Structure formats: C-alpha cells, structure tokens
Chains A and B, each alone.
Chain A
Amino acid sequence: MTDTEPHVAAVGTSPFGRTELTGRDLFSAAVAEAFEGGPDPAEVVDAMYVGNQSESYEHQIMYGTLLAEWCGLRHVPAERVEGCAAAGALALRHAVEDVRSGRRDAVLACGVEKMTAGGTAGATNALSAAFDRALEQRSGVTAPSQYALLAQRYLHETDATERDLARIAVKNHANAAANPRAQFQRETDVETVLDSDYVAPPLKLFDCAPVTDGAAAVLVATEEIARQFADDRPPVRVAGVGAGANNIGVADRDLTFVEGAHEAAAEAYEQAGLTADDVDIAEVHDAFTISEALLAEAAGFAPRGRGYESALPPAERSDGWTDTHLSTSGGLKARGHPIGATGLAQTVEVYEQLTGTATPERQVDDATTGLLINEGGVADAVTVAHVLTT
C-alpha cells in the first residue's frame, strides 16, 4: 500500500425525489452530510469535479466554479464533467486518478441534477441529447424506447420474459424500502409492475427509473486524510477503476451484450487483482430493468443470456452465476436516478455496505468488496466501473 492509494474518505447525499431545492441547494445537503464531524472542505479539498448531465434543466453551466464557491472554496481547480448518466462516476474517476498520481491529496467528486425543473417534457428533451442527432434524435426516439429496443431483442434471443424483468423491479423496490436515502421507500409486486402502462413496449412504467432531483458527494483522499473523517470505520480503498465506451448509435452495437461495460469492469477487476467471483455487492446501472440483466452479464456475475435472474436468491440462479447481491440500495429504479449524481449515489451505497453502516435490513454480512458500474448515454455508450474494498 502506498501513501497515494485513493480512499473514500467521506460520503453524503441530498434526499432524492422532487423538491423545491435547486441544484446548488441539493449539493449543500450532500456536502453537509459528507463533512459532518470532519475538517471543513477548505481545509482539505485540493480540487473538485462535478458530474452534471444537462444545463437545460437549470440554465446553468460552470457548475465546477459555482459549487466550489458554495462549499467554501474559490481558487481550487473545479470543473464540470459530462457523460450523461455516467458523469458522476467520471467525476469519481478523475478524483481517484488525481490522488493516485500524487498530484492531489484530497479531491471532492460530486454530482447534481435538478431533473424536475422542466417536467416530463423537459427531462425527455434533455435526455434525448445523449442520442445520435443525425439518425436517432430525428427519428423521435426517447430514453425508454432506446432501452426497449435492447429489451425487445433480449427477450427474443433469451428465455427471459417480461415477468422476469418485473422481478428485477420488485427486488429493487424491496431493497429501497430498507434504504432511508431512497426515493421510493416502498415495496411493489410483480402484478403491479406487469399491470403498469407500457412506456415503450416491452418496457412498462415500473421498468423505468424515475425522474429525480438529487446530489451526492464523495471525498477521495489519501488514507491519512481519510482517517480524519472516519477513524472508527474500516478504510475503504478504491482498488480498481475502468472505463469503456461503445457506439453512440444503438443500431451499430451488439444489442444483447454491453461490450463497453464489459471492458470497463474488466479493467477495474484487473487493477484490483480480483474477479467477478470476489464481488460481494454491486450497484449496477439499472436505469431500466433490462439494464440490470445486461450488466450482470457484462460484469461477469451471470452467464450470457441469464442476467435476468438477478432478482433470484443466489442459490436459485443458473450455474455460472456468482453470489453477488445486486443493487442493494434499490438501484436507480427505486433509490432514484438524479442523472449526474447517480454514480456517486452508487458509491455511497457501496461505502455503506463495506463499512457495515447500511440499515440492518439491507446490510450484506461481511461484505468486503463492492463494484459500481455507472453508464451514460444509451446503456454503455460510456461506462465507468470502480472496485472498492476494505
């Protein structure tokens, strides 16, 4: 272990859901939690990255400068990172690499999105900017319809059914019911999911993550600084980071295998010296239920064509599955999906699981290794994976 090994020193989130608070206010809430009982940001933070999907929600760019100021910093380098829904983990990756390189001792990675500002129409419009303008946007595709194209083909090629996808939503709602941070702290059942309206068949309303206002903050630092924040907890190390990409246009891809996510996870495992079998818990990017199935396969937890079994207890899954617990936070589906903050919200869940500070109902016993996979654009147009260990 070197003295530049990056650690998760502190974490915080705002509440997730619809609120009158603006983006900067949501950030204030996340920072208040992360720095409670520790040094002030101005005492430790050397640089800052802000994950943020779109200026169309609040008509605000320059989020690096703005949020640095809002937490008491002025002359530190601070910038916005853009990669649609992967922006949060892209910010985390920059923070990790800054500390790992020895250039910085403590870097604040945060994310913020005020998605409800323009209603459903505003969010639909803002998210569509992630698709290829030339052929996809002009054809009128939307986020649910893009994922529906993946889901339709997956259901065609595998044994999975709409009921199997519904089980993923039910499992994630059950997890969220035990997560005080979650937007939907309530359970649902398979029939409710199957009876919900189609948004883009075969995907129904309950297959989709919600529109969410929210922010999350993660301080990445050397072990020495990390100990100033949480002396009573096991230090959480960032053992591996990987990034990958895929075509911007969905038509050009393998529709049933997210290769970019596979590359990102493989790189993170290699850096950590671990394999999928070692991962106790994983936050995967379940923007839609189909995404959890695809990512279970891409991350090596499930054999090809069997990722849809992620909602089953480990003992009931097909041969070749790992024992990994997926989306213990409730996932994007039920914890909420504030686009630019999601990768950092995933980090918060992995941190809580590895430090044994998750609520007892969702705490996985003896979890020592966690993976988070954060995607942006449609599915794995850009993907960032991080392996965290105690």
Chain B
Amino acid sequence: MTDDDHTESETAPTTAPLARDDVTPDSPFTLPGFFAALDEGDLLAAVCEECGKRLVPPRPACYACGGRQLHVEVQPRTGTVVSYTEVRTPPPALADRAPYTVAIVELDSGARLTGRVTVPYAETSIGLPVRLTARDPDEDEREMALSYEVDWPIHEFDPV
C-alpha cells in the first residue's frame, strides 16, 4: 500500500448509504477493504439499521429487508458449528490438503460464514464451539488466487 492509501483508509466511511466516491479499495464495504481489516485481525460485518441483519462480508444493501442504511461492526471471533462436512475430492489447487473439514459457523453475534475447520471431520460436530482465525495464504492457496487476491488472508475455525 502507498502512503496515499493509508491516508484514505482512515477516512473511508464505515456507514452506508455510500456515495459513488465512497466505493474505494480501502472501504470496508469492498472486498479489498474487508480483507485488509481481516489481515489486521478484524472480521467485519455490515449491520442493517432496519432489521439488524449482520452481513459478512459487508455490502451496501441488506438482502433481508432491502435497507441501505448500514454500519460496519467488528464481529466476535467465537461461535458454533451449524453444519459441516469433509471435502474428499478437492479443487485441483488444494489437492494436497484433502481431506479437510469445512463448516458453516454462526458467530456469537448471529452472523454466519463458511470456512475450513482446522481439525479432522471426526473431531467436528454440530454445536462445536470454535474460534475464527486468519492467516497468510500458503503456497497452494496463492497459486489458486487471482492477482488481486494473493495477499488476502485465509480464514479458518479452530475448536475452542
């Protein structure tokens, strides 16, 4: 990032509706901004002012009610497994990792997201308490990344 980018990141709006000029790579409502925050340790959601829905990653409108009044909120890292499975036939780029566990996790805030679990399938269950972590991508993950994704962190869930 350049110094200019840093200057902008301190001023990028954390509430929507967004103006056209608010849609910048350092806005938490864009993927570059979302992953930059995750890289710093913060998983961000947009919270709908109308209905309270939490949206991960943040986006400028709420699918649940259509509202466009939102604010960005750092999410708790802890939650529980809602559903899970084991990937045995992986995408070619991740062949050396298989088998691995993936899960849908509901964070303590109610926000949900899919991610890998760091323990085997047999050690995972519905209701399992987990904690979200983020790390730098490994070599295989970098190889499957598009040019702008190469430095985006990979999120995972560790059992608590």
Those of B47-99 within 8 Å (CB) of chain A: 56-57, 63, 82-92, 94, 97
Q: Are B82 and A153 in contact (CB under 8 A)?
A: yes
Q: Which residues from B are CB-within-8-Å of A203?
A: 85
Q: Which residue of B56, B83, B87, B126 has the most chain A CB atoms within 10 A of its CB atom?
A: B83
Contact with A along B91-123 (1 / 0, CB 8 A): 110100100101111000000111110000100
Q: B117's closest neighbor in chain A, by CB?
A: A139
Q: Flag whether A117 is at the interface (Cβ < 8 A).
A: no
Per-position 1/0 for B118-160, Cβ under 8 A of A: 0001000010000000000000010001000100101100000
Given A149-B83, A249-B114, A135:B57 Cβ within 8 A: yes
Binary flags per residue of A121-157, CB closer than 8 Å to B gives 1, else 0: 1001100100000111111111011001110110010
B12 lies within 8 A of chain A by Cβ: no
Contact status of A142 and B57, CB under 8 A, knowing A121-B92, A134-B31: no
| B residues less than 8 Å from A121 (CB atoms) | 92
Q: Give chain B interface residues in 19-71, CB to chain A under 8 Å.
A: 31, 34, 56-57, 63
**Closest A residue, CB atoms, query B56:** A135
Contact of B88 among A141, A149, A200, A247 (CB under 8 A): A200
* A135-B56, A199-B89, A251-B104 given; A152·B114 CB < 8 A: no
How far apart are A250's CB and chain B's nearest CB, in angstroms?
Answer: 6
Set A135, A141, A153, A247: member contacting B126, Cβ < 8 A: A153
Would you call A252 an interface residue if the criterion is a C-beta within 8 Å of the partner chain's C-beta atoms?
yes
Could you tell me the distance between the alpha carbons of A247 and B61 in the complex, rounded to whole angstroms? 13
Chain A minimum-CB-distance residue to B63: A247
Interface pair B89/A128, CB less than 8 Å apart:
no
Most B Cβ at <10 Å: residue of A124, A149, A153? A149
Chain B residues in 8 Å Cβ range of A125: 91-92
- The smallest beta-carbon distance between B82 and chain A, in angstroms, is 7
Tell me the interface secondary structure of chain A in the complex: helix
**Given contacts A135-B56, A149-B85, A153-B126, are A140 and B114 in contact (CB under 8 A)?**
no
Minimum distance in angstroms from A54 CB to a CB of chain B: 14
Q: Once the chains bind, are B91 and A250 in contact (CB under 8 Å)?
A: no
Most buried by B among A139, A142, A145, A250: A139
A139-B86 Cα distance, complex, nearest whole Å: 12
In the docked arrangement, what's the CA distance between A121 and B92, Å? 6
Q: Which residues of B contact A247 (CB under 8 A)?
A: 63
Kindly list chain B residues whose C-beta atoms are within 8 Å of the C-beta of A150: 83
Nearest CB of B to A338, in Å: 20
Assess whether B113 is in contact with A135, with CB atoms less than 8 Å apart.
yes
Cα-based distance from A251 to B63 in the complex (angstroms): 14
Closest Cβ of chain B to A183, distance in Å, is 19
Whether A255 and B100, one on each chain, are in contact in the complex, defined by CB atoms closer than 8 angstroms, is no
Q: Which residues of A contact B87 (CB under 8 A)?
A: 140-142, 145, 200
Partner of B85, one of A197, A201, A251: A201
Q: Decide yes or no whether A120 CB sits under 8 A from chain B.
A: yes
* A140 x B97 contact (CB < 8 A): yes
Report chain B residues within 8 Å CB of A141. 87, 102, 114
- Asked if A251 and B121 make an inter-chain contact with CB atoms under 8 angstroms apart, the answer reads no
Q: Are A140 and B85 in contact (CB under 8 A)?
A: no
Q: Supply 14 further A-B pairs (C-beta < 8 A) apart from A149-B103, A152-B83.
A: A120-B89, A125-B92, A134-B57, A138-B145, A138-B149, A149-B84, A149-B85, A153-B83, A198-B88, A200-B85, A200-B87, A201-B86, A202-B85, A251-B82
Interface residues of B (CB under 8 A from A): 31, 34, 56-57, 63, 82-92, 94, 97, 100, 102-105, 112-116, 121, 126, 141, 145, 149, 152, 154-155
- Give 10 pairs: A residue, B residue, CB < 8 Å, sorted on A: A134-B34, A135-B56, A139-B102, A139-B114, A139-B115, A140-B87, A140-B90, A141-B114, A142-B89, A252-B63
| A contact residues vs B (CB 8 Å cutoff) | 120-121, 124-125, 128, 134-142, 144-145, 148-150, 152-153, 156, 197-203, 247, 249-252, 255
